[in-house]
A and B are shown apart, each in its own frame.
Chain A
Amino acid sequence: TQLLEQSPQFLSIQEGENLTVYCNSSSVFSSLQWYRQEPGEGPVLLVTVVTGGEVKKLKRLTFQFGDARKDSSLHITAAQPGDTGLYLCAGGTASKLTFGTGTRLQVTL
């Protein structure tokens, strides 16, 4: 069974702070996606990374795929209240997309 553990589970920070969310597994994935889910809505894709060591930036968000393709991180610089939500990583193989346990982020003024 492929498991994707995310840490931390919960994070409450103030506007302007930086944070990093981790997504770890003992399994190798061919790709890694990050989604954000806001209350009352379904998850929305933020990024897809497919190459070990790959780094992608989306404005204040930086995503990295581990060299061994078993882990990933999401770093947010100068967090804003609009970043509040549930962040989910998802690992892809040839046949299945497995979601992580999730990190709930709250950014306050």
Chain B
Amino acid sequence: KAGVTQTPRYLIKTRGQQVTLSCSPISGHRSVSWYQQTPGQGLQFLFEYFSETQRNKGNFPGRFSGRQFSNSRSEMNVSTLELGDSALYLCASSMGLAGVGTGELFFGEGSRLTVL
């Protein structure tokens, strides 16, 4: 069974640019959650999508957005990049809603974004 796939694994952008990250969940999983991980702030929740609908959103500015397609694949976009957006962006898939906290989240290896 293929795991969660995130692309690209590494990318470098400059301030003001935008970036799109992609996540393919495990087959059959309908929920995709996105997290930002930095050494100082730890793992911060961005948003969760379930059946193409955003079900929950973290405390991030509107520059961070996402969507989910009918095949459950998800993308997140960050516009007008800032230096502080440098981080590891992790995607996780699950059968049901992740927020309930009883099902297992399966994480991808992440996309490491560096903003110069």
Contacts and interface: CB of A to CB of B under 8 A. Distances in A.
B101 A42 contact: no
A88 B102 CA distance: 15
Given A88-B43, A99-B42, A30 B100 contact: yes
B101 A31 contact: yes
B101 A102 contact: no
A44 interface: yes
B110 A42 contact: yes
B109 interface: yes
Contacts of B4: 42
Interface size class of A (residues with CB under 8 A): 20 to 34
A43 B97 CA distance: 18
B90 interface: yes
Nearest to A4: B42
Contacts of A50: 102
B42 A100 contact: yes
A30 B17 CA distance: 40
Contact of A42 (B100, B104, B107): B107
Contacts of B104: 45, 48
Nearest to B33: A97
B107 A33 contact: no
Nearest to B112: A40
29 contacts: A1-B59, A31-B100, A32-B101, A33-B101, A33-B105, A41-B109, A42-B4, A42-B109, A43-B43, A43-B90, A43-B105, A43-B107, A45-B105, A48-B101, A50-B102, A88-B42, A90-B101, A92-B102, A95-B56, A96-B56, A96-B99, A97-B98, A97-B99, A97-B101, A99-B35, A99-B42, A99-B43, A99-B44, A99-B45
